[in-house]
């Protein structure tokens, strides 16, 4: 029987069958796992949970709009070398001193299995995923400046997150195992809350969930609150010693749930029955 | 039957190819599905589906194929392997896929698979059978792993077909109407960069090169920064038959306005047909002559017209009337004039293609490449706008 580690979530990270099937498929097939879903549904946390469960070292690569695929492999610090050539010390003829491995380069060159998180890949340039195809397939790259070839001894487990956006090229998608994180239903959310706030008063948990889901289902919100906001909100309520919340009154610490001025206005109009939030 | 399922997915525009089939065969051989239809549903979904807009067609096809059928795991495996071996199938493959197939050792997969089936026979009673009907899989996992908490679809509670039937992902279908953010993302593809302007960015490679040639004396080389270089003209039909689409139009409008990756965006309005002038406001004041616009904007501007292209035939082909100052040409002549001037132009139609036939829509469609105003249509339209830079 083939043996590979089955992912079942961790104490702090709850999963469901669909997510486990995706993670285990990715682990077994050695393909990148592409995770998509609304912001705040725990896409990034999943990578941490997998790293914890394997266990393996987690290497994060937070993609920004200016990130290039090459940066993930290595950066050749020419400026430093130029500087050293005039004023510095050390051996400037040794190019290796000026090659700095990026997150993906580190993951590939590590002797052991690592978990590589490529976070928010959709933020980068449109061509970015295509530029990564070869390295993701082969787990191999060459440092052109020195001619060094680096091949992974153990393929890193790659987790790629992307927001709810239709952005990624087909060739890239075909190589990934895909998982779409649903927004948790109430039952699941209750468990999530219990994990993050153990020993929370049952009544308060019920009320906050009630308020949260009603707020989420309200039409006309620009940014609907998500899991992380609920967790934060409960943390604030606990700190402030609030024992009960009700949606028909003014909600305490509304700012942790609704982050846009228009949303606060919409909330005031519909539920709080007044315009006290409107200036 | 399983192969039918794959072809059904393809018919529903879920691009399932050999790469996916091979991956699925491997996953099944490794026993990832835990010998249950439910497990099979999740594993197949994670491997065959690549974007959330395909989740719903997948659910529909899955429910249609696996409802009320008792499936034997071995049969699906055998069918899949048979399909992969089929020489006719190979003809349809791309080179990439063929190479992939050759790299895969089918016998190895088969051996693994049989091993799995034997193991299961030993472990559970009659364990190699999937029960598809009631959704009460006998192989429920009890979640014995102390590290994990099993939640959600508890075994036997919600069958795979039921999950598929729930069609929870209907909202993510991409052939349905779009929201502003999605439009913005689609529009983001409409961009190109070029280096022009003042020399204010440090050209590192150039600097090093020149410094080296200069015997180590530092010589700084600069270049113009990379800037977006796409200019877009958006013309929107308003009023009359377009009123039902007011919301879609305003979404497109706000998405276009928010797009920061264009060098220039001009928005104009017209009613039914452009004739000799368009208007910068929805109140139809301060007309801008088409001739002036064309003189002002070079052929490299991307022209996007949005409208239902539905009007009385005389409005398009007859003498000009509405808001017309140049008493010279019919509506269609102005459209042809625009089409001729701009290298790339498209017409976006909020009405579905099924109602395009037999009206002025057909005439306009023969002038401009026409696309439906959905996310898919918009992507196609943008591909058309970005296609090459040569004159058609």
Select the highest-mean-pLDDT range: A101-115, B70-84, B108-122, B313-327: A101-115
Using CB atoms, pick whichever of A10, A18, A191 lies closest to residue B42.
A18
Mean per-residue pLDDT over chain B, rounded: 71
How much of chain B, in percent, has pLDDT values that exceed 90? Answer: 1
The phi, psi pair for B187, rounded to 5°, reads -70, -25
pLDDT at A28 over 90: no
Residue A36 has its nearest CB partner, among B52, B149, B152, at B52
Rounded to the nearest 10 degrees, how much is the dihedral formed by the CA atoms of A253, A259, A260, A265?
Answer: -20
Residue of A nearest to B50 (CA): A178
pLDDT at A33 over 90: yes
Query: Which residues neighbour B88 within 8 Å (Cβ) at sequence distance 6 or greater?
Result: none
Residue B86, both tokens: 């089929």
pLDDT at A276 over 80: no
Residue A195: closest C-alpha in chain B = B149
- Rounded to an integer, the average pLDDT of A89-104 is 84
How many residues belong to chain B?
392
Distance from CA of B59 to the nearest CA of A (A): 13
Question: For residue A269, what pLDDT is reported?
Answer: 73
Structure tokens at A111: 């002797």
Burial of B348 (0-12, 13-18, 19+ CB in 10 A): buried
The pLDDT assigned to A62 comes to: 92
With beta carbons under 8 A apart, name residues in chain B contacting A173: 50-51
CB B353 within 8 Å of CB B361 = no
pLDDT at A61 over 90: yes
- Asked if B8 and B61 count as a contact pair (C-beta separation under 8 A), the reply is yes
Report whether pLDDT(B392) > 50: no
Most trustworthy range by pLDDT among A169-178, B166-175, B176-185, B222-231: A169-178
Selecting from A9, A78, A126 the residue whose C-beta is nearest the C-beta of B148 gives A9
Mean pLDDT of A99-125: 89
pLDDT cut 70: percent of chain B above it: 63
| pLDDT bracket for residue B141 (50, 70, 90) | very low
Residue B153, pLDDT > 60, answer: no
Is the pLDDT reported for residue A118 higher than 90? yes
Mean pLDDT on B212-229: 79
Q: How many angstroms separate the CA of residue A249 from the nearest CA in chain B?
A: 32
The residue-averaged pLDDT of B217-224 equals 81
**With 0-12 CB in 10 A as exposed, 13-18 as middle and 19+ as buried, what is B150?**
buried
CB-CB: which of B42, B145, B188 is closest to A21?
Answer: B42
Contacts 24+ apart (CB under 8 A), A192-196: A192/A14, A192/A227, A192/A231, A193/A230, A193/A231, A193/A234, A195/A11, A195/A12, A195/A14, A196/A12, A196/A231, A196/A234
- pLDDT recorded at residue B169: 67
Residue B121 Cα to chain centre, angstroms: 44
Question: What tokens does A213 get?
Answer: 């889901």
Percent of chain A with pLDDT over 70: 91
Cα–Cα distance between A198 and A210 in angstroms, integer?
Answer: 18
Instruction: Give alpha helix (H) positions in chain B.
Output: 2-11, 18-29, 37-48, 55-66, 73-85, 87-91, 95-103, 106-123, 160-166, 180-188, 204-213, 246-258, 290-296, 313-317, 331-341, 360-367, 375-386
- Quote the pLDDT of residue B114: 63
> What is the pLDDT, as a whole number, of residue B129?
36
Q: Contacts of residue A14 in chain B, CB cutoff 8 Å?
A: 149, 151
Which of A180, A184, A188 to probe the B interface (max B CBs under 10 A)?
Answer: A180
Best residue in A95, A178, A193 for a mutation probing chain B (most B CBs within 10 Å): A178
**Candidates A173, A187, A191; nearest CB to B51:** A173
Bridge-based pairing of strands B302-306 and B231-237 is parallel
Q: Is B352's pLDDT higher than 70?
A: yes
Render pLDDT for B155-182 as a digit per residue (tens, 0 to 9).
Answer: 333 456 666 666 666 655 555 445 666 6
CA separation for the pair A202, B138 (Å, rounded): 35
The residue-averaged pLDDT of A207-216 equals: 86
Reply yes or no on whether the pLDDT at B132 is more than 60.
Answer: no
When mean pLDDT is compared across B43-52, B61-70, B328-337, the lowest value belongs to: B61-70
What is the three-class DSSP state of B193?
strand
> Is the Cβ–Cβ distance between B32 and A17 less than 8 Å?
no
Nearest chain A residue (CA) to B116: A1
Predicted pLDDT at A106: 93
Task: For residue A269, give the nearest of A219, A216, A207 by alpha carbon.
Answer: A219
Q: Which residues of B fall within a CB distance of 8 Å from A165?
A: 181-182, 185
Token pair listed for B285: 């004041």
Paired sense of beta strands A33-37 and A177-181, if any: parallel
Chain A contacts of B47, Cβ < 8 Å?
A: 25, 29, 177-178
Question: How many CB pairs below 8 Å do chains A and B form together?
Answer: 125
Check pLDDT > 80 for residue B3. Answer: no
Contact A21 B33 (CB under 8 A): yes
Average pLDDT over residues A251-255: 80
| Percent with pLDDT over 90 in chain A | 14
Enter the tokens of residue B335. Answer: 């459209």
């Amino acid at each position: 029987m083939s043996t590979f580690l089955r992912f079942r979530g961790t104490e702090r990270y709850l999963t469901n069958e669909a997510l486990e099937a995706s993670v285990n498929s990715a682990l077994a097939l050695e393909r990148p796992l592409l995770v998509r879903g609304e912001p705040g549904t725990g896409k990034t946390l999943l990578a941490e949970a997998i790293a914890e469960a394997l266990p393996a070292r987690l290497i994060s690569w937070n993609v920004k709009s200016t990130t290039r695929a090459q940066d993930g492999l290595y950066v050749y610090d020419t400026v430093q070398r130029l500087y050293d050539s005039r004023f510095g010390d050390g051996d400037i003829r040794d190019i290796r001193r000026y090659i700095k491995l990026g997150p993906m380069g580190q993951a590939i060159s590590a002797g052991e299995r690592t978990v590589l998180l490529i976070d928010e890949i959709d933020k980068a340039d449109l061509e970015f995923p295509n530029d990564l195809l070869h390295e993701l397939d082969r787990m191999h790259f060459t440092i052109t400046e020195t001619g060094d070839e680096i091949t992974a001894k153990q393929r890193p487990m790659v987790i790629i997150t992307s927001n709810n956006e239709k952005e990624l090229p087909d060739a890239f998608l075909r190589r990934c195992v895909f998982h779409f994180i649903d927004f948790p239903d109430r039952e699941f959310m209750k468990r999530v809350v219990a994990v993050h706030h153990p020993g929370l008063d049952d009544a308060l948990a019920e009320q906050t969930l009630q308020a949260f889901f009603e707020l989420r289902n309200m039409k006309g919100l620009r940014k609907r609150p998500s899991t992380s906001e609920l967790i934060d909100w409960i943390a604030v309520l606990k700190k402030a010693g609030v024992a009960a919340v009700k949606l028909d009154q003014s909600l305490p610490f509304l700012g942790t749930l609704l982050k846009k001025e228009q949303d606060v206005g919409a909330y005031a109009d519909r539920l709080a029955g007044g315009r006290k939030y409107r200036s | 039957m399983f192969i039918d399922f794959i072809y059904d997915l393809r018919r529903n525009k879920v691009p399932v190819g050999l790469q996916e089939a091979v991956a699925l065969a491997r996953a099944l051989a490794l026993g990832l599905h835990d010998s249950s239809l439910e497990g099979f549903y999740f594993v197949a979904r994670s491997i065959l589906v690549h974007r959330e807009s395909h989740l719903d067609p997948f659910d529909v096809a899955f429910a249609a194929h696996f409802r009320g059928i008792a499936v034997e795991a071995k049969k699906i495996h055998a069918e899949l392997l048979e399909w992969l071996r089929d020489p006719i199938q190979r003809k349809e493959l791309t080179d990439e896929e063929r190479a992939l197939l050759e790299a895969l050792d089918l016998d190895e997969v088969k051996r693994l698979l049989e091993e799995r089936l034997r193991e299961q026979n030993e472990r559970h009673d009659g364990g190699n059978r999937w029960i598809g009907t009631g959704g009460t899989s006998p192989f429920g996992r009890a979640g014995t792993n102390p590290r994990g908490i099993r939640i959600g679809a508890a075994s036997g509670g919600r069958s795979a077909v039921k999950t598929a039937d729930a069609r929870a992902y209907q909202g993510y279908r991409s052939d349905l109407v779009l929201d502003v953010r999605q439009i913005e993302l689609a529009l983001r593809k409409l961009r190109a960069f070029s280096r022009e302007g003042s020399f204010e960015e440090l050209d590192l490679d150039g600097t090093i090169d020149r410094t080296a040639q200069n015997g180590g004396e530092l010589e700084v080389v600069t270049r113009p920064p990379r800037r977006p270089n796409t200019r877009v003209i958006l013309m929107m039909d308003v009023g009359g038959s377009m009123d039902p689409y007011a919301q879609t139009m305003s979404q497109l409008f706000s998405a276009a306005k928010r797009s920061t990756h264009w060098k220039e965006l001009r928005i104009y309005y017209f009613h039914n047909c452009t004739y000799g002038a368009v208007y910068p406001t929805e109140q139809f004041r301060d007309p801008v002559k088409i001739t002036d616009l064309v003189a002002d904007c070079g052929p490299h501007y991307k022209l996007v017209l949005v409208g239902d292209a539905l009007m009385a035939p005389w409005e398009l082909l007859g003498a000009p009337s509405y808001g017309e100052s140049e008493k010279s040409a019919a509506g269609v002549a102005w459209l042809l004039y625009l089409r001729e001037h701009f290298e790339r132009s498209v017409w976006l139609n909020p009405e579905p293609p099924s109602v395009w036939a037999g009206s002025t829509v057909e005439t306009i469609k023969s002038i401009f490449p026409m696309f439906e105003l959905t996310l898919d249509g918009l992507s196609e339209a943008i591909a058309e706008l970005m296609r090459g830079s040569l004159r058609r």
